[in-house]
Structure formats: C-alpha cells, structure tokens
Structure 1
Amino acid sequence: MKKIIVSTSTYFIAVTCISLSLLIGNAHAGIRQYSADIQTSQWQLSNASRLQCTLSHQIPRYGEARFSAKASRDLNMEFELDMLRLPDNYSLAEVRSVAPSWQPGVGSRTLANMKLQKQFNPSLPKKVAWTMLNELEQGMSPTFYYNDWYSETDKISVGLSTARFKKAYIAFVSCVGNLLDYSFEDISYTVLNYQSSSDKFTKASQRRMEMIREYLSLDPELELVLVDAYSDSYGGRWSNQQLSERRAAKIRDYFVQNGIEVSRIEAKGHGEKRHISSNDSTLGRAKNRRVVIQMQKP
C-alpha cells in the first residue's frame, strides 16, 4: 500500500490557488452592500398618533425602510422599502434573517420573497413585517438580496441594522397599541338617527357621533365635512324643515367646538325630502329621521 505524502509548502500552494480562483470568480459577480453601520444607524418613530405609527430606518446611499400601522378594526402592519433608485424591471428579492458579525456561527434563514415591480417601492404584508420586527428584536438583521437590474453580473444586498433599534421599537409598539380601533373608511359615510320629534340622537347614534368627534380631533387632513339632516313626514312640513335645520346646525356647532373650522363644514336641513323608507310604520319613520355625515380628504 502506497503512502501519499503532501508537504506543507504543497498544501499552502493548493489553498492559495483555490482562494485566488474564488476571488477571480467573485470579481465577475460582485455584491454591492448597503447598510448602516453602528455609528450611523438610526431608528426613529414618526407619525406617532392614534391614526398612524411609522418606524423608519435610514439606509445610507440606498433609501429608507419603513414599518407602518394605521388605525383600523384589525391590527395591521406593512413594510415598505423606499428606494432612491426604483426597480427598472420585475423580479424577486429574497428576504433573509442574518446574524450580525459579532454572532459567528449563528445561521441565517429565509423569511420571504419580495416582489420588485417596475418603478414602484416594494412592500411586504403584515405577517412578514411583524416577523422582521421580531428578528430585529432578537438581534438579527433582515437582509434583502436581489440581482441588480442595471448589471446582470452584480447582486445587491440591503441590510437593516439592529443598532439603536430597541428603544425606538418599544415606542413603536406602544404607539400601535394606542391606535384607534376604526379607520377613516369606517366613518367617512355615516347615517345617524334621531329620537321622535327631537334633535337628540338614539343611543347607538350617540356612540357613533363620539367616534366621529374623536377622529375629527385627530386628523388635520380632512378637507370637507358635509352634514345633511332629514325628518319624517309627521308634524307639518314647515316645522319638519325647521327641525332638520336645527339638527344640521347643532352638529355643525358640535364639530366647530371640537376644533373643525366652520369654513370646512357644510350643514343643510332638508325636512321631509328624500325619504328612504315609508312613513306608515314606526320603523320607517325612525329611518327617515336621520342625518348623513360625509367626510372628504384631499
């Protein structure tokens, strides 16, 4: 049986040749890496209100990563990667959770694939967004890998830094927990009902009115509030017209008292016009005693 003897110098030469071949291969397929280092990494909470919470992270020379949640009936979340250079074609980016350099030996794992659409910022839905936040909280770095659309041989790596993350994340979670449990769409068109021969709401409409008041006090972007009040056909046409006008004026004054400029409110009383149900039944008359509130944004 023959023995094979490899000298130290021969081994060194072989390893050197392999390393050189890898370097030469990588030279033809470079990876451009974008991420904030420990000195420049910044996470900040913006849009911190009961309507929206946004946690943002600047990525030098690349753009901004944003986690956002909005007021809604259901807990929601979205992640958006705001690129300085938008995608020039359609492709996929692999999203991986990568251990930082100071945690050697910790393996990475794939979280999702993100669609890159031409001339649009890519985004990810709620489940993946929360998973990315959980990974960041545990010290891992969600990282995006995709082929450069301007150079077929190049790849791009975009990482989210864990530096200075936890304090901003705690504030973000607190903000999300304080969001309204309804959205603008839930109240932008609302029908409220009145008690008979009165400008007082039913109990259900009182609760709805409180929701609208709360939203109006929080959203400075509302452009116009339309208030249209109606009556049933009992009590005389003229008196019903006056009653509907009082109803409309009372709501307008209520909104003004809660910080809405009177110039942004249009309030009208329509009396017995535009019935939506028969006045021959108690239920039908209750439906006709109503006010319709519509809100518009720019």
Structure 2
Amino acid sequence: MKILKYTGSCFLLVFFATSASAHTYQAPVTDSQWQFTGNRVACHLSHTVPQYGVGVFDQRSGEAIKFTLRAEAYVPPIQTAMLTSVPPRWMHDAPILKLASLKGNKKVLSVNSDASERMLQELSNGKFPQFSYKAKQGKVKVSISSINFLAAMSEFEACRQNLLPYSRDDVHQQLALFTQSSALITHQNRKLLKKAGTYIKEAGVGQRIDLVSGTEGFSVKDGRRVYDKRIQSIREHLQQVGISEDRVIALADPEALETPEGSIRLKVAGPEPFRQIYFNSGSVKLNARDHAKLDFMLEYMRLQNAKAKLVLKGHTDSKGSRFANVKVAEKRVAVIKKYLLSKGMKTNQIVTKAYGESKPTTTNRYPGGRQLNRRVEISIVG
C-alpha cells in the first residue's frame, strides 16, 4: 500500500469572511495536509479537519468514487447539509457554487459520485468545498482546504487509472461451480479463480481466499468426499497461478471465521443437491428447503448455461393404484414447473414426465424406501 503525505507552510491568515454566529472548522493554512494511500484495489485521499474529523475520497476497483466526511469529535446528529464550493478571498469575482444537498447519517456525511468528482475539480481549481448544517449551538461550517491538494491529487488520479477493472463483489461470495461429481476445474472456474487470486495479491500481504461449501444444509450422498476433492483441485490451481497454500483456507463452518475486507470468499458447489426433490406421502407441496434447492439450481444454470433445458421426472411409492400414482407424479412435476416459471424460466426450457410407481429407486417394502421413491428427479440437458 503506497502512502504519501503532503503538507506545507503558508503564512496567509484569512481565506473567507465568516459569520460570527457560525462555528467554522478548517485546517490551518500552515498545516493543511492531504494523505494518499492506494493499490490496485482501492485508492484513498484523506484530509484532516482539526477539532472536527476527517474527509476521505474513496475509489475502489469496479466502483464509483465517493467522498465521506466523518466527525470524530462530538457533534449532534446531522440531519441535512449543504455542500458548496467557496472561493478564497483572492478570487474576488468567483461566486459561491452550490454542489449538492445531503442527508446526514448521525456523524457522517456521504457525497455521491457526481458531486465527489465535482469536489475534486473545485479543489484542483483552488476552491474550498464547504459543508454547512444547522446544530443546536448554531450553524456549522466544515471547509475542505485546497492547500497542498494538487500533489496528492496527481498520485490519487494515477492510482485510479491503475485500478483493477472489477470490484470485490464481482468475485466475493461467488459460486465456484463443478459438474456432476467432478473436481475438474472448468474454464469458467479458471476465470473466477484468476480474478480472485489477482484481487488478493493486489490487496496486499495477509489477504486470502476462503473456500466454503456453497450447498451447506443440503444432505448429499458422498458430498464431503466430492467437496474435499474440489477444494484440493482449487488449491492446486491457485498455487499454479502464484497463490501460496497458506493464503487459501477451507472453512468447514462458514460462520467459523470472518472474511476480511481485502479477502475473498468463494462457495464451492456442484449440481448434486438439486437432483431430487422428495415428497411426503400423498403430498404435492414444496417446502422452504425445496425452494432453496430450486433457487440454487437456477443460479447454477444461470452461471453454467442459462439456455439449458430441464427434464423433470415424477415418481411415487407403490401405495395406491397405478393410475392414481401417475396423477400424483404429474402434480408433483407440475408444482415444480410452476415454481420455476415464477422465477423466470421459459416454458420451452422445461420437459416433464410422470412415471408414477413404475421406476422405483429402491424397495417399497419399508417406509425408508418409500420415502426415497416419492421424488422428482431433475436433470439439466445442454
């Protein structure tokens, strides 16, 4: 992380005419400081306002710039504020310009991207952006000094031009998807892992990639064995692109460790959890767990092949007549199709079949077997 501080000594004493009733906070002209820090994932340009707090321009990779003024001394909660550009005394004919109206958040004022860019422009032109708001003790004015700004600004702009073209959100909490029972790194995973690896390398020493199961809560036969193989494949691939093993952590419990701001968390998952939806005896209703499985399947399809087709095959146990069981199987398939259509799938993407009791996966002699036979099998084609 590059850190530069810009200070200077001047002996001009007064910049503005201020109202006697206003409480004005501003860095002294002999000690106006701007500090730049940055790398390829974030650029920061900060200015201390003595006895008040700190103002920071913040630009993160893949995101819009913003400015935040944070009061570190005690101030009453800020409701609304006005942001203006105030010229120094020697700019005799320059007018005061209104830049934005702001809503406060307790002790913080946040400026959106457009107004932040305008602030940079005004500071570069020697103006002083000023925040004004009303408090119990009278009007408060907080001025952001342009003294010693230009040198720091040049570093900040160079940093902005060199930011990564994607944000942390483009990789953080994303799914590293695998095909059925496979641990092979797909082309799509290679792209995701490359982005994640580059991000943590640029974010600095100590940042890491956390790997968690993207299908926690789903009971899948042999799931742990397959998951462990996928974790190992990801580790080996990341080592090939320069990420040391100690910077990749596999978390058995997603809540066991918090992922720091400069690090990335990836969810490792395959299609296994949604291959079957099981039903209670005689039931054609989906529960919250079924909805979660289907939502995961839709996300899987969106990332793998959004135009693929689904084949839904309905099955029952052997209780009841064959005719009645086919009808139950049809209803189970239909309720899943209805849910998928409500989530945006197209009718021509879904193929339905109802087999009733004719294709059991195990014996119907025992309750456990009948439970496994009351199912809709889901497969992705294409």
Tell me which of 135, 139, 158 is aligned to 1:155: 139
Contact 2:78–2:108, Cα closer than 8 Å, also in 1: no
| Corresponding residue of 1:61 | 51
Read off the aligned partner of 2:147 and give its amino acid letter. A
- Corresponding residue number in structure 2 for 1:108: 96
Corresponding residue of 1:52: 42
Instruction: Name the CA distance, whole Å, in 1 between partners of 2:98 and 2:64.
Output: 22
**Is it true that 1:248 corresponds to 2:231 in the alignment?**
yes
1:261 aligns with 2:246: yes
Aligned to 1:15: none
- Which amino acid in 2 is paired with 1:125? N
Q: Percent identity?
A: 25
CA distance in 1, matches of 2:231, 2:247: 13
**Distance in 1 between the 2:214 and 2:133 partners?**
57
* Maintained 8 Å contact 2:213/2:269: no
**Residue aligning to 1:41:** 32
Deviation at 1:216, TM superposition (A): 2.8
SS in 2 for 1:170: helix
Distance 1:99 1:206, change over 3 A: same
* Matched length: 241
Residue of structure 1 aligned with 2:189, choices 181, 188, 205:
205
1:4 counterpart residue number: none
Counterpart residue number, 1:139? 126
Report the RMSD for the aligned CA atoms in angstroms. Answer: 3.7
2-structure distance, mates of 1:221, 1:215: 12
CA contact (8 A) 1:141 1:159 kept: yes
**Residue-by-residue CA offset, 1:15-74 (whole Å, 9 max, x unaligned):** xxxxxxxxxxx7xx612221123320111112x1222111000112221111111122xx
Gaps of 5+ in 2: 1-18, 216-220, 253-267, 277-296, 304-382
Cα deviations by residue, 1:218-274 (Å, 9 ceiling, x for unpaired)? 3457576125599xxxxxx99x9977644421312444651352673348xx99983
**2:85/2:128 contact within 8 Å kept:** yes
Letter in 1 for 2:43: C
Higher relative contact order (CA 8 A, sep 6+): 1
Distance 1:244 1:179 in 2: 34
Q: Any stretches of 5+ residues in structure 1 without a counterpart?
A: 1-25, 231-236, 279-283, 291-298
Q: Distance in 2 between the 1:225 and 1:201 partners?
A: 17
Q: Counterparts of 2:122 and 2:269 in 1: how far apart (Å)? A: 59
Describe the SS at the equivalent of 1:106.
Answer: coil
Matched, 1:176 2:160: yes
Structure 2 vs 1, CA of residues 38 and 209 (structure 1 numbering), >3 Å: closer, same or farther? same
Which residue number in structure 2 is paired with residue 185 of structure 1? 169
